[in-house]
A and B are shown apart, each in its own frame.
Chain A
Amino acid sequence: MKNIIKISIGFLMVMIAFTSCNNGNSSQSNGALSSSAAEKVYVAPGEHDEFYAFVSGGFSGQLAVYGLPSGRLFKVIPVFSVDAEKAWGFNEETKPMLNTSHGFIPWDDSHHPDISQTNGELDGRWVFINGNNTPRIAKIDLTTFETTEIIEIPNTAGNHSSSYVTDNTEYVIAGTRFSVPVPQRDMSIKEYKGNFKGTLSFIKVDPEDGGMEIKFQLLMPGFDYDKAHPGRGKSHGWFFYTTYNTEEAHTLLEVNASQNDKDFIAAVNWKKIEEYVNNGGGKMMPTNYAHNVYDDKTHSATSTMIKEVLMVDPAEVPGAVYFLPTPKSPHGCDVDPTGEYIVGSGKLSANVTVHSFTKMLDAIENEKFAGKAYGIPILNFEDVLAGSVEQPGLGPLHTEFDGKGNAYTTFFISSEVVKWKLGTWEVLDRKPTYYSVGHLMIPGGNSQKPFGKYLLAMNKITKDRYLPTGPEVTQSAQLYDITGDKMELLLDFPTVGEPHYAAGIPADLIKSKSKKLFNLEENEHPYAAKTPSETKVVRTGNEVHIYMTMIRSHFAPDNIEGVKVGDKVYFHVTNLEQDYDVPHGVAMIGAQTSELLIMPGQTETFVWYPKQVGVWPFYCTDFCSALHQEMQGYVRVSPKSSNIELSWSLGED
């Protein structure tokens, strides 16, 4: 009887449970729209995303790789800042990458990534990105997803209007935000006006290996050069730069650099200047800057100091540079996929101003100039204006395009993305961002061939959008579907550092080229040991070089004696694995540096200064195998006065 009662109660509860489940299902149906948003960003386990997004880390100094539409983070590529996880700037091989004319610089502020192009379309070979603080441009190789080159930009300060590529990656450009004395010298700040100069740098890119070389610098008036965009298609051969502080103020810029109704977009005919330079034009000027190159055969970087740069005075190249008046301290400078429209976003303006390339050429041909500034012709605003988007929002910042005749502009102050139509300038749609949006990105949206499916808006402030984490909360990216008439917010996700700007590309264009390992046969590292028989320990004075190998699951050698207090011990460690996704790590107790994280076929080096007598262990830091915990070794450290001979071994009793 008792049992029957128990069973009945059981059934009753089961019924209730089922009923409540049904209720749950029925009320779920009112979220039809939302389930489509969820489906649009859902990438099933094991499936791949459709796009890569390379999102700048801003003040983190790095470049983060995400998948779209999922927003999943795959990798943080160290660029300008040291990274203990990957030993970037800690191991001996990569320290030269962060060398500059100011010495080793462990950090920078990474800003605008841009993917290389061929015929104005993304080719997915390299990503370029600028370091803003100590001016540099880096190149990331999209087969290894590693930084392989960093070039310092001389005569520049605040490397902000950078690092954008021309239609065939002929050049990646850099422009100075802060004008400075060129060359640098001891002078009064009050003598800024007319004496400080701004340089625009044209860095030639080798079509084979992407190698960078400063071809020339253009010595411009002492304005602030904010953003830039190459001409596309019909305007290929030109470069456009927004300027502010055309007042040439040197203090309290928030007052003194906002006095002029209009600043300028500088239009630079780089093909004309290239021709001038190729014919011997320009003057070599003494300078000093670092050019750092990483070689994935030697797995090592070299830093070369370059002592001169070719400087071009625009006044000496007639027809090369013009100024297009543009309202109120324009920030964004964006060219549409056809190359006809040049969009200037005056960040203190409520309007978005659009210039016409055709009208600009016409005004130049008819020499309709409003005047000159430092010998550079100024065109009339009305003569070059294509139209303006009237009061679409507050604080326009940056515009990209979908390739279907629409433009999308971010508004920082009113926290929104506005979609508007090229040619009619009418506002088609607006959507809020959460909050204070800076740049936006449509994959290919700054090229001739945008992939107008998604738009990524990057926010500086999130306040209540995520679980709080103390005073510092994450910045974010927001993904919109832009395939319909109206934008649809699909997802927001947290980002690394400040997501300053991003570059996106269809995954199919690069994923098959992604390198799986480094061929051990091709390893040309001077301290590589390619087999356990090549391992050794060599002493030169107080320097000890350990040629070590690692493979699942031991180091060779793993017992070392004869090291003394006061020695400088180099661990040169080669990962002998030739299997995809089997890196090994190594760390030594008391080593004042990071771990090494060594890819298959690669050699890396850390330095250890033993300070205490004893027997000290080292071990593998990457969970590499079932016997990872066994992957360890010992170094015996004897007193300085000891005469114990160097010896090394593996598996000897």
Chain B
Amino acid sequence: MFFSVIIVLLFISCKNDANNQKTNNNATTVNEQTDKTTGQAFITDDGSTPNVLQIAIGSPDHTTLVAAVQAADLENALVNAGPLMVFAPTNAAFDALPEGTVETLLKPENKNTLADILKYHVTPGNYSKDFLKKFKKLGQANNQYVTVEVEGDDVFVGGAKILGSVKAGNGIVHVIDKVMLPPSKEN
């Protein structure tokens, strides 16, 4: 009887150690902030309407775009409360770029250029294709503007035609038929 009490006590103290250890390990993860798999992009949430990133990931026509977003480390920027409007070029749109362009952009040394191009495809806002007709231009997340033009029922953004739209939990995704390349910056 006496021994079992001691043993239990020892086990309890061990359990405490294990708890401390766990806490510390968690804190370690907090310190490793360069970890690419922390942040809102990596929360499992089956209940909410998919966000703009999840929509892109789920689309077989956007594998190049998703690869580019991942190469540029922009996942967490696309899952914020936003609202965010993403113009998502299809794989075919990326394929239409001069040969080797995508491969070059995906190289680590071109991460900033790639991020700039991708941010040129993001607007802080949430407007349907029809609503976009009210605009002449949109201010993009890379600090430049894209034009908005209307031809009949079609809406062109930065020269790219909106092919379809998907509402997202934190904004909207407009599928476009061209990759928009930012004009060279004046200042």
Q: Which residues of A pack against B, CB within 8 Å? A: 6-7, 10, 13-14, 17-18, 20-21, 24-25, 27-28, 30-31, 33-35, 37-38, 252, 254-255, 258, 327-328, 347-351, 391, 394-395, 412-415, 431-432, 434-436, 460-461, 463-464, 488-489
Contact of A24 among B7, B21, B30 (CB under 8 A): B21
B1-12 near A? 1/0 per residue, CB < 8 Å: 001101100110
B49 at the interface (CB under 8 A from A): no
**A415 with B143: CB separation less than 8 A:** no
Contact of B24 among A17, A34, A412, A434 (CB under 8 A): A34
Residue of A nearest to B84 (CB): A413
Q: Nearest Cβ distance between residue A1 and chain B, in whole angstroms?
A: 16
Residue of A nearest to B32 (CB): A33
Residue of A nearest to B28 (CB): A34
Q: How far is the CA of A261 from the CA of B19 in the complex (A)?
A: 55
Contact of A31 among B27, B80, B84, B135 (CB under 8 A): B27
**A413 with B82: CB separation less than 8 A:** yes
Residue of B nearest to A13 (CB): B7
**A17 with B10: CB separation less than 8 A:** yes
Q: Nearest Cβ distance between residue A537 and chain B, in whole angstroms?
A: 58
Q: How far is the CA of A555 from the CA of B76 in the complex (A)?
A: 60
**A435 with B18: CB separation less than 8 A:** no
Q: Tell me which residues across on chain A come within 8 A of B21, comparing CB atoms.
A: 24, 27-28, 31
Contact of A464 among B18, B26, B43, B135 (CB under 8 A): B43
Contact of B7 among A14, A255, A348 (CB under 8 A): A14
The answer to whether residues A350 and B33 also contact, given A254-B125, A255-B134 and a CB cut-off of 8 A, is no
**A348 with B40: CB separation less than 8 A:** no
Q: How far is the CA of A38 from the CA of B30 in the complex (A)?
A: 11
Q: How far is the CA of A10 from the CA of B76 in the complex (A)?
A: 54
Contact of B18 among A7, A24, A30, A351 (CB under 8 A): A24
**B27 with A21: CB separation less than 8 A:** no
The answer to whether residues A435 and B143 also contact, given A255-B134, A414-B76 and a CB cut-off of 8 A, is no
Q: Tell me which residues across on chain B come within 8 A of A464, comparing CB atoms.
A: 43
Q: How far is the CA of A25 from the CA of B134 in the complex (A)?
A: 65
B95 at the interface (CB under 8 A from A): no
Q: Tell me which residues across on chain A come within 8 A of B81, comparing CB atoms.
A: 412, 435-436, 460-461
**A435 with B20: CB separation less than 8 A:** no
The answer to whether residues A412 and B80 also contact, given A10-B6, A255-B135 and a CB cut-off of 8 A, is yes
The answer to whether residues A435 and B40 also contact, given A33-B28, A35-B24, A38-B24 and a CB cut-off of 8 A, is yes
Q: How far is the CA of A348 from the CA of B20 in the complex (A)?
A: 44
**A488 with B31: CB separation less than 8 A:** yes
Contact of A17 among B11, B23, B30 (CB under 8 A): B11
Q: Nearest Cβ distance between residue B125 and chain A, in whole angstroms?
A: 6
Q: How far is the CA of A28 from the CA of B24 in the complex (A)?
A: 7
**B27 with A328: CB separation less than 8 A:** no
Q: Nearest Cβ distance between residue A529 and chain B, in whole angstroms?
A: 54
Q: Tell me which residues across on chain A come within 8 A of B139, comparing CB atoms.
A: 258, 328, 348-349
**A21 with B14: CB separation less than 8 A:** yes
Q: How far is the CA of A513 from the CA of B134 in the complex (A)?
A: 59
Q: Tell me which residues across on chain A come within 8 A of B40, comparing CB atoms.
A: 415, 434-435, 461, 463
11 cross-chain CB contacts under 8 A: A13-B3, A13-B7, A17-B14, A20-B14, A28-B17, A28-B20, A37-B27, A38-B27, A412-B81, A460-B81, A464-B43
Q: Nearest Cβ distance between residue B1 and chain A, in whole angstroms?
A: 10
**A350 with B143: CB separation less than 8 A:** yes
The answer to whether residues A414 and B33 also contact, given A21-B14, A24-B18, A255-B135 and a CB cut-off of 8 A, is no
Residue of A nearest to B27 (CB): A34
Q: Nearest Cβ distance between residue A143 and chain B, in whole angstroms?
A: 38
Q: Which residues of B pack against A, CB within 8 Å? A: 3-4, 6-7, 10-11, 13-14, 17-18, 20-21, 23-28, 30-31, 33, 38-40, 43, 45, 76-77, 80-82, 84, 116, 119, 124-125, 127, 134-135, 139, 141-143
Q: Nearest Cβ distance between residue A249 and chain B, in whole angstroms?
A: 12
Q: Tell me which residues across on chain B come within 8 A of A30, comparing CB atoms.
A: 28
Q: Tell me which residues across on chain B come within 8 A of A27, comparing CB atoms.
A: 21
Q: How far is the CA of A434 from the CA of B40 in the complex (A)?
A: 8
Q: Tell me which residues across on chain A come within 8 A of B82, comparing CB atoms.
A: 413
**B80 with A435: CB separation less than 8 A:** yes
Q: How far is the CA of A349 from the CA of B145 in the complex (A)?
A: 11
**A7 with B39: CB separation less than 8 A:** no
**B141 with A350: CB separation less than 8 A:** yes
Q: Tell me which residues across on chain B come within 8 A of A351, comparing CB atoms.
A: 143
> 11 more A-B contacts (CB under 8 A) besides A255-B134, A464-B43?
A10-B7, A13-B7, A24-B14, A34-B27, A252-B134, A391-B143, A412-B80, A413-B84, A432-B33, A432-B38, A489-B31
**B10 with A18: CB separation less than 8 A:** yes
Q: Tell me which residues across on chain B come within 8 A of A348, comparing CB atoms.
A: 124, 139
Residue of B nearest to A385 (CB): B187
The answer to whether residues A33 and B80 also contact, given A348-B124, A415-B40 and a CB cut-off of 8 A, is no
Q: Tell me which residues across on chain A come within 8 A of B11, comparing CB atoms.
A: 17
Q: Nearest Cβ distance between residue B185 and chain A, in whole angstroms?
A: 9
Q: Tell me which residues across on chain A come within 8 A of B127, comparing CB atoms.
A: 255
Contact of B10 among A14, A414, A488 (CB under 8 A): A14
Q: Nearest Cβ distance between residue B138 and chain A, in whole angstroms?
A: 9
**B10 with A413: CB separation less than 8 A:** no
Q: Nearest Cβ distance between residue B129 and chain A, in whole angstroms?
A: 15
Q: Tell me which residues across on chain B come within 8 A of A38, comparing CB atoms.
A: 23-24, 27
**B124 with A435: CB separation less than 8 A:** no
Q: How far is the CA of A37 from the CA of B27 in the complex (A)?
A: 8
Q: Nearest Cβ distance between residue A394 and chain B, in whole angstroms?
A: 5
The answer to whether residues A6 and B39 also contact, given A31-B28, A413-B141 and a CB cut-off of 8 A, is no
Q: Nearest Cβ distance between residue B180 and chain A, in whole angstroms?
A: 16
Residue of B nearest to A37 (CB): B27
Q: Nearest Cβ distance between residue A7 and chain B, in whole angstroms?
A: 7
The 5 closest A-B pairs by CB, nearest first: A10-B3, A34-B27, A31-B24, A24-B17, A17-B10
Q: Tell me which residues across on chain B come within 8 A of A328, comparing CB atoms.
A: 139
Q: How far is the CA of A7 from the CA of B1 in the complex (A)?
A: 10
Q: Nearest Cβ distance between residue A429 and chain B, in whole angstroms?
A: 10
Q: Tell me which residues across on chain B come within 8 A of A18, comparing CB atoms.
A: 10
Q: Tell me which residues across on chain A come within 8 A of B27, comparing CB atoms.
A: 31, 34-35, 37-38
Q: Nearest Cβ distance between residue A636 and chain B, in whole angstroms?
A: 57
Q: How far is the CA of A20 from the CA of B76 in the complex (A)?
A: 40
Q: How far is the CA of A434 from the CA of B139 in the complex (A)?
A: 26
**B43 with A463: CB separation less than 8 A:** yes
Q: How far is the CA of A395 from the CA of B135 in the complex (A)?
A: 21
Q: How far is the CA of A34 from the CA of B38 in the complex (A)?
A: 17
Residue of B nearest to A471 (CB): B47
**A415 with B80: CB separation less than 8 A:** yes
**B142 with A391: CB separation less than 8 A:** yes
